[in-house]
Amino acid sequence: MAVEFPVVHGHPNRLPFEGVLTLVDVPSDKAPSGARGHRVVLTRAAAEAALPSLLGMAVDYKAGWDGHDARQKCGIITAAEVDGKRLTVSGYLFARDFPEMESKIQAEGAMGMSYELADAHVADMQASIWTLTRATFTGAAILLRDKAAYRSTSFRLKQPIARRAALAR
């Protein structure tokens, strides 16, 4: 599922990215923020039903790369799909608005992602691992992989710095 943006070669504010936002039908490695200390499982059915809510949502980051800051929006999600156990996303970072992002992401190395939800339905609030059967995505965060609830997430820029420099010439 994707929103098509026209190609604008050398656009100074569009830096393409791709990532694994989460895993489906797999318990999180640790409790995400807002889960009251519970690890969670996002069901495939819930993820697939919520895919349309990801399109057009913001990507954010927090100084220190260790969490979420929904007011620090640095990009947009333009595509999302469930591929096996992985929920993958792609989109653009606002490179001109956040010129420090590209070099910081390249320097930090192992980057991951974390989803932001609203209207989540937990099958059994008494369970040790919460199963999410319904949710609406409200955005995503870029963070260090080891800070993510799912350590198998990833985030990478699709266009290396050298290539962007060549396009700018």
pTM: 0.90
DSSP string, 124-167: -TTSSEEEEEEEEEEEEEEEEGGGSSSTT-EEEESS-HHHHHHH
Residue listed under structure tokens 């989460």 = 22
Spatial CB neighbours of 105, under 8 Å, sequence gap ≥ 6: 111, 142, 155, 157
Q: How far apart are CA 97 and CA 15, in angstroms?
A: 11
pLDDT above 50 for 163? no
Most confidently modeled range among 102-116, 138-152, 154-168 = 138-152
10 in helix, strand or coil?
Answer: coil
Residue listed under structure tokens 């569009």 = 14
pLDDT above 80 for 169? no
pLDDT in tens, 85-134: 999 999 999 999 998 888 888 776 689 999 999 999 999 999 999 999 99
Q: Residue 74 is encoded by which pair of tokens? A: 């640095």
Note the pLDDT of residue 106: 79
Spatial CB neighbours of 20, under 8 Å, sequence gap ≥ 6: 86, 87, 88, 89, 112, 113, 152, 153, 154
Percent of the chain with pLDDT over 70: 93
Q: Are 81 and 1 in contact (CB under 8 A)?
A: yes
DSSP string, 105-121: HHHH-SEEEEEEEEEEE
pLDDT in tens, 38-63: 999 999 999 999 999 999 999 999 98
Distance of CA 77 to the CA centre of its chain: 8
